[in-house]
A = this chain, B = another copy of it.
Amino acid sequence: MMDKKVIDEFSQIVGPNNILIEDLDLFTYSYDASFLPLIPATKPDLVMKPHSTQEVARIMELANIYRIPVVARGLGSGRTGGSVPVNGGLVLCLDEMNKILEFDGENLTITVEPGVKTQDIYLYCAQRGLFYPPDPSSLKHSTIGGNIAENAGGPRAVKYGVTGNYVMGLEVVLADGSVLQTGGKMIKNVTGYDLTRLFVGSEGTLGVITQAILKLIPMPKRWRTVQVLFDSLEGACAAVSRAIKSGTIPVAAELMDQISLQAVAKFGNFSLDPNVKAGIIFEFDGDSETSLEEQTGGVQKICAEYGSIQFRIAMTQEEETELWSLRRGLSSAVAALAPNRIAEDISVPRNALPEIVKRLRAIAVKYDLQMAIYGHAGDGNLHPSLLVDLSLPGEKEKVDLAVGEIFRAALAVGGTLSGEHGIGITKKEYITDALGETGVATIRSIKKALDPSGILNPGKIF
């Protein structure tokens, strides 16, 4: 617990209107969107809302002197407990550092504070003819700072990559309060180590991001959404791989298994042909109608070879929205099937999709648990979701064992623990399995070099 005198010292940095200290307020900063229990709550001692890099720097300087843990966060949409203050201390909530600082239409960049919502960046750029592609499902309620800290992905990663591919430079407050600038607006830059990429995905354990320069690209002129239903999940996976290999790279290729599709059907009040075992929602983009027709035509042929039952091209804006809303509503629809839903986030080489699906099903059978499988088939990133009732005796133990097996299965086929959610708290016990002793020792040594007292988001990753 922090001393009253110390709390006062911190409070003076941001002023009394920008701190939260009441128990109920602290409680609301004790959780994120992961599947961790809320009780007992891991509350911070103090929540601070800084409004400038200078304030963040002064906070870190003081925290470093007093050896107080600091957890930076945005809107708490994380899926692995990354922003949960497990050791108490300070929460730096950066949601009010939410200014778009510069839009540079010449160099195709935008410079933002960490608290800007991802969707706001997308819309701001889109109105000016440019495209910020990363689209985590949380884009309406997640901040860019969190996206960068977790290297968030999203459906469009197949063609356009993840958040990290769009971060050109950062301003970061380090553990001792010094302010680091990395990268810049240069497209090519090999001056010193790539610190920008080191901070991307470091889950708040190496510094507090206070500004980011993001890369933009020209907005594609046309889009097309296609829904394909298959008679097997394996066929659906294989069709996506084949399409990509043929040179047609969809913007997105979202996979849903039968349970997922049934959940959506139930939620949306329509019926589903029982022969349908899997579905893919493809999105394509291009500069001309011809290009879209070539892409959809080619993929239609490939899908037919792999057992497609229906190939539906959205012909209107409404149909497009309808198809995507199925996918966007999927997580909620699946969650509604059972009292608890434990959704994982494994990532495997794309050609290992059929094998991992087989192994996931075997795990579900072994533990007698219902499992929905959906995710980003275009890049091998799946979200196997256990649909359970944790109030049943023995259920939690079964779930824990099954989750462990899911991770081991991902590693066994050459994959990893997380495609886009990070490690946080929920996967840290598996980190050595994934990275090996040398890998963990290496990231630990970097952590120690940049944060010798271990005050930045302690208890995460390793």
- A residues whose Cβ falls under 8 Å from a Cβ of B: 104-109, 150-151, 153, 157-158, 162, 164-165, 174, 178-182, 184-195, 197-198, 200-202, 206, 217-219, 221, 241, 244-249, 287-288, 290-291, 294, 347-351, 376, 379-381, 414-423, 427, 431, 434-436, 438-443, 445-446, 448-450, 461-462
Interchain CB contact (< 8 A) of A108 among B219, B245, B347: B245
Interchain CB contact (< 8 A) of A287 among B162, B180, B247: B247
Q: Which residues of B contact A150 (CB under 8 A)?
A: 190
Q: Are B189 and A419 in contact (CB under 8 A)?
A: yes
Q: Are B184 and A442 in contact (CB under 8 A)?
A: no
Interchain CB contact (< 8 A) of A218 among B174, B197, B249, B381: B249
Q: Which residues of B contact A157 (CB under 8 A)?
A: 187-188
Q: How far is the CA of A104 from the CA of B449 in the complex (A)?
A: 37
A11: min CB distance to chain B, Å: 27
Q: Which residues of B contact A195 (CB under 8 A)?
A: 439, 442-443
Q: Which residues of B contact A288 (CB under 8 A)?
A: 290-291, 294
Q: Are B188 and A380 in contact (CB under 8 A)?
A: yes
Q: Are A193 and B184 in contact (CB under 8 A)?
A: no
Q: How far is the CA of A445 from the CA of B448 in the complex (A)?
A: 9
Q: How far is the CA of A246 from the CA of B421 in the complex (A)?
A: 34
Q: Are A350 and B187 in contact (CB under 8 A)?
A: yes
| Copies of this chain in the oligomer | 2
Q: How far is the CA of A376 from the CA of B221 in the complex (A)?
A: 26
Q: How far is the CA of A76 from the CA of B190 in the complex (A)?
A: 18
Q: Which residues of B contact A162 (CB under 8 A)?
A: 188
Which single residue of chain B is at the shortest CB-CB distance from A186? B347
Q: How far is the CA of A162 from the CA of B190 in the complex (A)?
A: 10
Q: How far is the CA of A421 from the CA of B446 in the complex (A)?
A: 26
Q: Are A438 and B219 in contact (CB under 8 A)?
A: no
Q: Offer 17 A-B interface pairs, CB within 8 angstroms, sorted by A.
A: A109-B349, A164-B194, A165-B165, A174-B438, A182-B439, A184-B416, A187-B347, A189-B419, A192-B462, A193-B202, A193-B446, A194-B198, A195-B443, A197-B197, A218-B247, A247-B287, A446-B446
Q: Which residues of B contact A450 (CB under 8 A)?
A: 442, 445-446
Q: Which residues of B contact A191 (CB under 8 A)?
A: 416-418, 423, 427, 431, 434-435
Q: Which residues of B contact A206 (CB under 8 A)?
A: 193
Q: How far is the CA of A402 from the CA of B354 in the complex (A)?
A: 60
Q: Are A151 and B190 in contact (CB under 8 A)?
A: yes
Interchain CB contact (< 8 A) of A439 among B192, B249, B440, B448: B192
Which single residue of chain B is at the shortest CB-CB distance from A461? B192
Q: Which residues of B contact A153 (CB under 8 A)?
A: 188, 190
Q: Are A438 and B186 in contact (CB under 8 A)?
A: no
Q: Are A194 and B187 in contact (CB under 8 A)?
A: no
Interchain CB contact (< 8 A) of A201 among B151, B193, B218, B245: B193
Q: Which residues of B contact A104 (CB under 8 A)?
A: 349, 351
Q: Which residues of B contact A349 (CB under 8 A)?
A: 104, 106-107, 109, 184-186
A213: min CB distance to chain B, Å: 10
Which single residue of chain B is at the shortest CB-CB distance from A378? B187
Q: Are B179 and A438 in contact (CB under 8 A)?
A: yes
Q: Which residues of B contact A434 (CB under 8 A)?
A: 191-192
Q: Are B439 and A181 in contact (CB under 8 A)?
A: yes
Q: Which residues of B contact A192 (CB under 8 A)?
A: 423, 431, 434-435, 439-440, 443, 461-462
A323: min CB distance to chain B, Å: 23
Q: A107-B350, A181-B439, A288-B291 are in contact. Are A186 and B419 (CB under 8 A)?
A: yes
Interchain CB contact (< 8 A) of A416 among B186, B246, B351, B376: B186
Q: Which residues of B contact A427 (CB under 8 A)?
A: 191
Q: A188-B347, A291-B291 are in contact. Are A438 and B180 (CB under 8 A)?
A: yes
Known: A182-B439, A193-B201. 17 other contacts (CB 8 A): A104-B351, A106-B241, A106-B349, A106-B351, A109-B349, A151-B190, A153-B188, A174-B438, A186-B419, A191-B434, A192-B434, A192-B462, A198-B446, A218-B248, A291-B291, A442-B450, A446-B446
Shortest beta-carbon contacts, A-B, top 10: A218-B247, A106-B351, A188-B419, A197-B197, A449-B449, A185-B349, A187-B379, A445-B449, A186-B347, A188-B381
